[in-house]
Structure 1
Amino acid sequence: RITCHFLLRKEKLPSTSVQERLVSYRKYCYSAMPPNVLKTDLLHSSSSSLNGNALPTDLEDVWVCPASEKSLRTANPIRAIVDPIVSKSIKSGAERGDGKDQISLALGDPTVFGNLPPCPAAIEAITETLKMGGAMATGYVNACGTPEARAAIAESHGAGATADNVIVASGCSGALELALTALLDADSILLVPSPGFPLYSVIAKSHGAKVEYYDLLPDSGWECDLVQMDQLITRLNIIDGHNRSMQESTCGSRSPTQVVRGIVVNNPGNPTGSNYSAHHLRNILKLAHKHHIPIVSDEIYGDIVFDPNCCFSPMAEISARMGKHVPVITASGLGKQYLVPGWRVGWVIFHDNHHGSLKEVEAGAKRLAQVTLGASHLVQCAIPAVLQPKDIMGMLEWKKGLTNTLKHQALFLCGRLTESCHGLTAFCPQGAMYALVKIDVSQFDKNVIYDDMSFMKHLLEEENVFVLPGRAFGMIPSLKQPCYVFRVVYCAPQEILEQAVIRIANFCQLHATTKS
């Protein structure tokens, strides 16, 4: 009873040392107790007991286990923004009374509607392993992965990588966690895209590192703003040079650390649906070479691109063609490209340059891999079967079918949103599974729709259609990017996408300043 009373109170404890917080908490506990609880239940009751003993009467025995500083620094912005709104929503149309069951265009799981079947080669590999009694995949494996899986990954990605440069991880997210943990220190800096997948900043900040955002340009296919990125790095290096000079003068030593430790590039992109040309990737590498900064390339969506004239170009492959001057850390996995996200199997590959710049980082990641032992042995059996399929033509046909389906659904959804929905303009994607939709807030009643959050909130409440606001991906309007957006996922069957468009169109028309 007393514990529940404490937990339900929302007062923040002072941000001080652990010991001081404990003392403050004890004082808070004492002041928070209702008088009848304190006198009757705690001090004078002999019936209340714990393991047969009466509750302690000494307030020094009232204590709390503090959370680690790392856990307190860890927060997912999508959850922080969306959960308070979604928790109040009603998914069932029957409960709502209007028959409108919830349609989610927010969840990045391509398998959730059941219309996109997983890669047959992956299923067959697991099935065959289990048919053999599972003896081949029941034991522990090397912390970096099975030799067969690592070799298949290295051969698939090429660019001079060997099996020894590969670490198999628990999903692409786990691969990024390994790579960034090995790369970053407290107060070091990671450059991440805006808008971009929030995981990069979540991982960096959890380790006490700082995050700086470089812009993506909506009118240029969401390419990186390399002028702004160059200016940002230059400014950070000047600040770092000043700080090092101060340290040298006070401590008599110079720190060997570099302030900007990495540039994250996500291609094909989430939430933008972009696919960068080889030319643009070369320009990114030239900038990284200029400032001696490694690239962390998130390529989880790999070959899911729609334009046959602009194929997917791996960053490490472009770097190799340019002479391997820039080290590239590539993160990928089976989840999205082969439609098995719940299997949680990904990998990180260290493509070093000629100077061995990544040597210590790669060694550090391998030490960190020993903590969790990576993905399960069973799912690793699917990696060679998928990346080195026996039926190559069958695999190519399956991948072509998936890409064509996603392309068709992307064109359908984005076209209908732009044509049918007042005040909305969709950015047609070039790959991945996502698209951003621009909201012209001047076309709506400003008392109802005035930004991306208000649009998302009222659309969910009124039409039970769930989308993610742009600010969940770090996109907040500025003079340079003066637009509000929301993200949609187009993996649902076309009939569901059509129903979502009808509801969104009705919503936009209802709140339009000029009725059509």
Structure 2
Amino acid sequence: MPFDIKASEKAKRTVNPIRAIVDKVLAGPPSTCPLKRIPLSLGDPTHFGNLLPPSLLTSSLQDCASSHKFDGYVPAFGCPNLRKSVAESFSSENVKYTDDDVVVASGCSGALELLLTGLLNPGQNILVPKPGFPLYEVIAVSHGCTVKYYNLNPSDNWNVDLNSLESAFDSNTVGVLINNPSNPCGSVFSKSHLKQIIEVCEKHNTMVIGDEVYGGMVFEGSEYNSLAEVSAEMGGTVPVVSCSGMAKQYLVPGMRVGWLTFYGPGLEELKGGVKSLSQVVLGACHLAQEASSRALDDGCEEFKKELNLKLQTQAGALESGLKGCHGLTVIKPEGAMYTMVKINVEEFKDIANDIEFTKMLLDEKNVFALPGTCFGIENFFRAVYCAPVEMLEEAGVRIKEFCEDHKK
């Protein structure tokens, strides 16, 4: 009898919807456009080689490797040095973390997976933003759970629609996920708006899950405020578990170092459960953890300042190119690495939706952007501005030509 080994039900439930959507964009014969491809789709800041990690982090990694002091295993929930560094780096006058409040994981996505595995039981749900990063739903559904969406308002700089948030709660809701700064929107919530969100969570006696992997990556005129800090200013009655890591703020997504920080009341059992679950994977790379600890201890403040200025310049180059495009509405990004651009499909003669727009743009101009449908919102596209300024300017020229070719 031939073997027919079945995948588990959990494996069958684990499907990232982006793949199917991108396949539609890439479907059909390869583009015959002679122009070199400009990928505005990649959320990897290292892809183009123009954004490099701090030299301290690179030299620390080399030192750690050559010393052979960090070749062995570490505690599953993180090496002591890194947990201490994270606790000190993210503490403030109002929020005092200890190393016991930190769990290290394989990247921020691994930290999210650990947290949601420790939190969710089948049938429960978390509230997540729309548009938002699709991994939240992938993890929840994998565990036999669901997500419910609350809307971000593009006409209000992608702030949370508080009425939408209020109406999303039900008796099975166990957490509200807040992504700030935002992927895919590039928006940054003000402190007053974060207080409004936390007030809603307090009203519903529900914890906050913070995806703050882009924390601190903000442009002039905007200010980043951590969710734990805002909760503390409001009395610290709403528990906050935040996810962050080295990937974006230090430009090393391949190092796979992320963490969770636990702040507020009622989290001891969850924290213990997450630490138990971390033993399944045995944590992030020891060398990478030690090098990350040294970078956090230093702070790399000049590097971070320069990175934000570079990203703001690159965002400005892309924004300037897109502003003059027929049928597009640009919402000015305030941080992170992304902007969401509205496609006014009624202004085009032969484009019905965002998937058609991005597919035709790729075929005709070899510019690859992700359709908003990937992030739960139609008739937008997400553009990443990590590329060099000249490439972003060229992308703007091509997109403008494309829009002119297809306008009514």
Q: TM-score range by the shorter chain?
A: over 0.9
Task: Tell me the alpha carbon deviations over residues 272-314 of structure 1, each in whole angstroms, 9 at most, x when there is no partner.
Answer: 0011111111111111111110100000011110034x32100
Q: Which has the higher contact order (CA 8 A, sep 6+)?
A: 2
**Aligned partner (choices 155, 172, 175) of residue 111 of structure 2:** 175
CA contact (8 A) 1:271 1:435 kept: yes
Match of residue 121 from structure 2:
185
Task: Tell me the alpha carbon deviations over residues 409-432 of structure 1, each in whole angstroms, 9 at most, x when there is no partner.
Answer: 11121121012x111111110100
**Aligned partner (choices 294, 303, 308) of residue 398 of structure 1:** 303
Match of residue 53 from structure 2:
118
Q: In the alignment, is residue 424 of structure 1 matched against residue 328 of structure 2?
A: yes
Instruction: Indicate how the Cα distance of structure 1 residues 89 and 379 shifts in structure 2: closer, same or farther if over 3 A, else same.
Output: farther
CA contact (8 A) 1:276 1:312 kept: yes
Task: Tell me the alpha carbon deviations over residues 73-126 of structure 1, each in whole angstroms, 9 at most, x when there is no partner.
Answer: 1111111110243265647xxxx3x42121100000011000111121211211
**Aligned partner (choices 134, 138, 158) of residue 198 of structure 1:** 134
- What pairs with 1:422-501 in structure 2 (closer than 5 Å)? 422-445=326-349, 448-476=350-378, 484-501=379-396
Q: Which runs of 5+ in 1 are unaligned?
A: 1-60, 238-258, 477-483
**Aligned partner (choices 310, 316, 333) of residue 411 of structure 1:** 316
Task: Tell me the alpha carbon deviations over residues 421-475 of structure 1, each in whole angstroms, 9 at most, x when there is no partner.
Answer: 1111111101000000011111101xx3111011011111111110000010011
- What pairs with 1:92-491 in structure 2 (closer than 5 Å)? 96=32, 98-132=33-67, 135-158=68-91, 159-233=95-169, 236-237=170-171, 259-308=172-221, 310-353=222-265, 357-389=266-298, 395-419=300-324, 421-445=325-349, 448-476=350-378, 484-491=379-386
Q: CA RMSD in A?
A: 1.3
CA contact (8 A) 1:153 1:383 kept: no
Q: What is the TM-score normalised by the length of structure 2?
A: 0.97
Q: Could you tell me how far apart the structure 2 residues matched to 1:475 and 1:141 are?
A: 42
Q: Could you tell me how far apart the structure 2 residues matched to 1:64 and 1:74 are?
A: 20
Q: Could you tell me how far apart the structure 2 residues matched to 1:74 and 1:151 are?
A: 34
Q: Could you tell me how far apart the structure 1 residues matched to 2:65 and 2:11 are?
A: 38
Q: Could you tell me how far apart the structure 2 residues matched to 1:104 and 1:221 are?
A: 25
Q: Could you tell me how far apart the structure 2 residues matched to 1:111 and 1:169 are?
A: 21
Per the TM alignment, residue 157 of structure 1 is displaced from its structure 2 partner at its CA by 1.2
Q: Could you tell me how far apart the structure 2 residues matched to 1:185 and 1:444 are?
A: 46
Q: How many residues align?
A: 405
- What pairs with 1:74-93 in structure 2 (closer than 5 Å)? 74-86=14-26, 88=28, 90=30
The aligned amino acid for 2:16 is: N
CA contact (8 A) 2:24 2:355 kept: no
The aligned amino acid for 2:36 is: D
Q: Is the partner of 1:385 in helix, strand or coil?
A: helix
Match of residue 65 from structure 1:
5
Task: Tell me the alpha carbon deviations over residues 290-345 of structure 1, each in whole angstroms, 9 at most, x when there is no partner.
Answer: 1110100000011110034x321000111112111001010000000010011111
The aligned amino acid for 2:268 is: K
Instruction: Indicate how the Cα distance of structure 1 residues 224 and 431 shifts in structure 2: closer, same or farther if over 3 A, else same.
Output: same
Q: Which runs of 5+ in 2 are unaligned?
A: none
CA contact (8 A) 2:25 2:356 kept: no
Instruction: Indicate how the Cα distance of structure 1 residues 398 and 213 shifts in structure 2: closer, same or farther if over 3 A, else same.
Output: same
Q: Could you tell me how far apart the structure 1 residues matched to 2:225 and 2:140 are?
A: 26
Q: Is the partner of 1:79 in helix, strand or coil?
A: helix
